[in-house]
Amino acid sequence: MLANVLTSAASWDSEQPLLTYTVPVELEDRLSPGQLVAVPYGERLVEGITWHTHLADDAGDGLELRPISAILDVEPALLPHQQALAEWMSSYYVTPLSKIAFRMLPRGLLQRTRVVLHLAKNEAPVPGEGIPE
């Protein structure tokens, strides 16, 4: 079985096609369109949305496909009508499908990291340093 996956690694400025991955035998009966999955992308794992699944007979000859690493959530993140809406919006507004689909997901669903910097507080200001008078 094969799955077309829309990955979160897409550049926000350009369209990225759906990438095809093999579905490991142990995941075949649990994978459905709309689910969040972890897939290899280059040297790292990224999150993706399963868009379509189809039989392995549809694969081109001589292609080496990588397997889906894990299903991140058993419940679909996007339902079929939401996927259809995302496709329509992508076409109508000429916007990358990845940009629309990932913005449709509920906040906090994806594993995002954010760097937060805090300014150090000095106990006593040093005269002559800082803002000139």
Residue 124 lies in a domain: no
| C-alpha to C-alpha distance for 32 and 28, rounded to whole angstroms | 9
Range of the domain at 85: 2-103
Residue 56 lies in a domain: yes
State the Cα angle at 42 between 104 and 78, rounded to 5°: 20
Q: What is the pLDDT along the chain (133 residues), one digit of tens a residue?
A: 999 999 988 655 567 788 999 999 999 999 999 999 999 998 889 999 999 999 877 555 667 899 999 999 999 999 999 999 999 999 999 988 988 999 999 887 776 555 666 676 766 656 666 555 5
Residue 123 lies in a domain: no
Looking at the structure of the chain, the number of domains it has is 1
Residue 41 lies in a domain: yes
